[in-house]
Amino acid sequence: MNYSAVDSKILSAGSVPPLALSLIAPTYNERDRLAELAQAVFSAYRAAGLYGELVVVDDNSPDGTGQLADDLATKYPVRVVHRAGKLGLGTAVVEGFNAATAPIVGVIDADLSHPPDIIPRMFAVMRQHAADVVIGSRYIGGGGTRDWELSRLAMSKFACLLARGLTPVRDATSGLFLIRRELARAVTISAGGFKICLELLIRSQPSRVIEVPYVFVGRTAGESKMHLKEVTGYLAQLRDLHRFRRAHGGRSPEYRALSTRELDLA
């Protein structure tokens, strides 16, 4: 792993400090945006004096995303996991968690739908509030969406509404979040689709959860991964999580939604 991209403020006496954060980016045909993502993530890390890595989990993309990830690993602290085929987002995230070495792990979309510059602030919130999970939220004050079809926005909001019977989190289907690695690794994840955040919120039983606002930007490159089968899969996931909650009990986590101002002060 090449550390030439790490800000000199983070390194001292020629030694490499322990990683603070491992950010997982599952990929399938994301060659058009992956280099831009890596540059943005490590620029955000440097600006915040945060030492972190990017874990790219590629599902054997036919467009050469995996090879590009290997090339980026010669320039940045990038770890690459190559998988045999298109095995699903949920399992890709799990493999990323297993490959990660930092005590805090996170997930971000590879297509820049999520703003990389929010990651250090989410990390600061996690430390300041001793949170177990910090979620980037479209559906609290200060959050929102841009360049997204109304049908998908309505579907997303409805999915979050259905999840309110399980968690107080407003954007439980978010694909942008940080979680303590020991919690992420301690549970068996059964969701193979998009709602890995909801799965972790229920099965890991965190004590403290915080939502922070961000603006989701609709995809402008590549193709959407949302399909009808995700809808039926999500309904099955809700059923299974309700069963898990009834079988294991457990109290709801301490929950707080931060304002944009509070996030900016982190």
Query: Cα–Cα distances in Å, from 160 out to 76, 151, 174, 210?
Result: 36, 14, 9, 16
Confidence of residue 87 (pLDDT cuts 50, 70, 90): confident
Per cent of the chain over pLDDT 70 is 88
Q: Are 66 and 99 in contact (CB under 8 A)?
A: no
Confidence of residue 162 (pLDDT cuts 50, 70, 90): very high
Q: Is the pLDDT of residue 222 over 80?
A: no
pLDDT the model gives residue 188: 81
Q: Is the pLDDT of residue 193 over 80?
A: no
The pLDDT of 236-260, averaged and rounded, is 90
Q: Looking at mean pLDDT, say which of 13-22, 111-120, 212-221, 242-251 comes out highest.
A: 111-120
Q: Is the pLDDT of residue 256 over 80?
A: yes
Q: Is the pLDDT of residue 66 over 90?
A: yes
> Which two structure tokens, joined as six digits, stand for 206?
């965190």
Lowest mean pLDDT among 44-53, 146-155, 157-166, 203-212: 146-155
Confidence (pTM): 0.90
The pLDDT of 47-72, averaged and rounded, is 97
The pLDDT of 2-30, averaged and rounded, is 70
Pairing type for strands 21-27 and 52-58 reads parallel
Q: Is the pLDDT of residue 211 over 90?
A: yes
Give the C-alpha separation, 150 to 9, whole Å: 44
Angle between helices 31-48 and 119-128 (to 10 degrees): 50
Domains delineated in the chain: 21-265 (3.90.550.10)
Per cent of the chain over pLDDT 90 is 73
If one counts every other C-beta atom within 10 angstroms of the C-beta of residue 224, the result is 10
The pLDDT of 167-190, averaged and rounded, is 92
Nearest to 257 by CA among 117, 106, 139, 110: 139
Q: Is the pLDDT of residue 96 over 70?
A: yes
Which are the contacts of 130, defined by CB distance < 8 A and separation ≥ 6?
Answer: 208
**In the predicted model, what is the mean pLDDT of the chain?**
89
10 Å CB burial of residue 99 (0-12, 13-18, 19+) is: middle
